[in-house]
């Protein structure tokens, strides 16, 4: 894990970036949620980011079919007016059914869609699900 040293957005508007590599284990969502506190977010935004980070990391653990030696990459970016989260894994790829939602799955991405200002999926060698929330000033 790496983070800027001041525990918030640096003076002069420089962003705070927190990166973390997580094993695909049952405690990965818990460990990821703990890092959100380093961003010094307003309470409601903090709670939404905690929920959504947990959902996205859980999706990696449950759906990506990662090998024990593969990792989940978490990137948290806090700027004065925005917070961006990226969750990336090298698993089997992103199932379209997760976006559409099903009878028993897909609600995490539904929450991402409902609670964020912007979100998306980037596919390549890895799959990255990202979202952004605008911060009130």
Q: What are phi and psi of 61, to 5 degrees?
A: -65, -45
Beta strands in 36-81 (DSSP E): 72-79
pLDDT in tens, 86-123: 999 998 776 555 555 554 556 788 999 999 999 999 98
pLDDT in tens, 39-77: 999 999 999 999 999 999 999 998 888 999 999 999 999
CB-CB contact of 135 with 44 (8 Å): no
CB-CB contact of 72 with 13 (8 Å): no
User: Mind listing the domains of the chain with CATH numbers?
Assistant: 17-134 (3.30.565.10)
Determine the 3-state secondary structure of 63 from DSSP: helix
Determine the 3-state secondary structure of 120 from DSSP: strand
How many Cβ atoms sit within 10 Å of the Cβ of residue 22?
A: 22
- Sequence-distant (6+) residues with CB within 8 A of 119 are 112, 113, 129, 130, 131, 132
Tokens of 133: 């929330």
């Amino acid at each position: 894990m790496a983070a800027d040293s001041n525990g918030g957005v640096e003076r002069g508007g420089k962003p705070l970036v927190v990166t973390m590599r997580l094993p695909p284990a049952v405690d990965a969502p818990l460990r990821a949620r703990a890092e959100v506190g380093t961003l010094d977010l307003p309470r409601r935004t903090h709670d939404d980011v905690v929920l959504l980070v947990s959902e996205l990391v859980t999706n990696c653990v449950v759906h990506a079919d990662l090998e024990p030696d593969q990792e989940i990459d978490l990137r948290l970016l806090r700027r004065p007016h925005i917070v961006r989260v990226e969750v990336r894994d090298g698993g089997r790829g992103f199932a379209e059914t997760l976006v559409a939602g099903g009878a028993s799955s897909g609600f995490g991405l539904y929450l991402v869609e409902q609670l964020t200002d912007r979100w998306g999926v980037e596919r390549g060698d890895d799959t990255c699900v990202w979202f952004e929330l605008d911060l009130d000033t």
